[in-house]
Structure 1
Amino acid sequence: MKKIVFALSIMILFTNLKAQTMQNTKELSDRIQVIEDKMSIKNLVDTFSVLADQKETQKQTLLFTENASVESRVNGQPGMTLTGRKQIGDAFSSYLSLFETVYHINGQQTIELKENTASATSYCMVILIGMEDGKKIKTTMGVYYYDEFVKENGCWLITKRTSNFIWQEKEEVE
């Protein structure tokens, strides 16, 4: 009888250990997925900036969903709203063509995940160098983006971007 009780105890112990191991594996897998998703979103925002700096607006628009929207706000006041990849791409291309140098420096970012959607606030300094009234002018802007994302076919895309232009400085450069 003692042998049967001992054998049952060992079986229950191993069953509990296996269940606990499976639960720990799932928790670890879920935590790794969160890290991968956050890294993918950070990479998406950084890629957006790099492509803007390179004036690769056609590639940049592919970072958005087909029906995405981009809204600009200057000093808290609503600006223009763009809808769809074509309109976004045309506006970005037109604007960036005004400058010989475009340079984004991305900073801190917070990301909130909810299954296959996410939102983030990302801070950025944007430097633009172009000609104004026959002079080379450097415009430096403090911007933060509020983005909404969706995961489609395993890839994160921007579905809505609100660009908040908070401050701006201009100076002539040699």
Structure 2
Amino acid sequence: MTLENLITKDELRSLTDAYASLGDDKRISEQMALFTPDATYQVYMNGSLVANIAGTENLEKEFNGHASQVKTYFTLNGQHVVTIAENTATGTSFSQIKMIRESEGKHNITDYSVKYDDTYVRQNGKWLIKDRTGYFVIVEARALNL
């Protein structure tokens, strides 16, 4: 493995970590800067496609709508495996996401175990997410005692 590949892998890991951190902080407009303008984002739950969004303008609207319903996000990123080919790369990453929502004065937490398949491109010296597919493999919801 070359030094260049190690640097690229670190940059790509930083990109996926920034995606999670900005999302947790609900800094959606900043999060959109991590995508190409024509990016696609798909979500599968229980094997069914539940979201298919194209373009950062549409992504921002969708993410803001979702964030308005969530009181707190908390994301932990795990493995991140990438394959690099010059100015493009593909990657698979795993995340644990917790979302707290309030309903009728009660707090509910949903735990998501997610596998992301990504396509990345390097544009103007910066890695961006071109395509992201999230597979929500395990979803568990329960009341949260605060």
Moved over 2 A (4+): none
SS of 1:67 mapped into structure 2: strand
Q: Which has the larger radius of gyration?
A: 1
Listed as ranges, the gaps of 5+ residues in structure 1 are 1-29
CA distance in structure 1 between the aligned counterparts of 2:120 and 2:104, rounded to whole angstroms: 40
Total equivalences in the alignment: 145
1:121 aligns with 2:131: no
CA distance in structure 1 between the aligned counterparts of 2:141 and 2:51, rounded to whole angstroms: 22
Measured after TM superposition, the shift of residue 100 of structure 1 is 1.2
Higher deviation after alignment, 50-59 or 89-98: 89-98
Structure with larger RCO (C-alpha < 8 A, sep 6+): 2
Partner of 1:41: 12
Partner of 1:74: 45
Which structure shows the higher strand fraction?
Answer: 2
Higher deviation after alignment, 128-137 or 83-92: 128-137
Higher deviation after alignment, 46-55 or 30-39: 30-39
1:162 aligns with 2:146: no
What do the CA deviations read for 1:111-158 (whole angstroms, capped 9, x no partner)? 000111000000000000011343210111100100000000110000
SS of 1:98 mapped into structure 2: coil
Partner of 1:4: none
Measured after TM superposition, the shift of residue 171 of structure 1 is 1.4
Q: 2:61 aligns with which of 82, 85, 90?
A: 90
Please tell me the residue identity of whatever aligns with 2:85: K
Partner of 1:59: 30
Please tell me the residue identity of whatever aligns with 1:148: T
CA distance in structure 1 between the aligned counterparts of 2:48 and 2:142, rounded to whole angstroms: 24
CA distance in structure 1 between the aligned counterparts of 2:74 and 2:134, rounded to whole angstroms: 16
Please tell me the residue identity of whatever aligns with 1:51: L
Listed as ranges, the gaps of 5+ residues in structure 2 are none
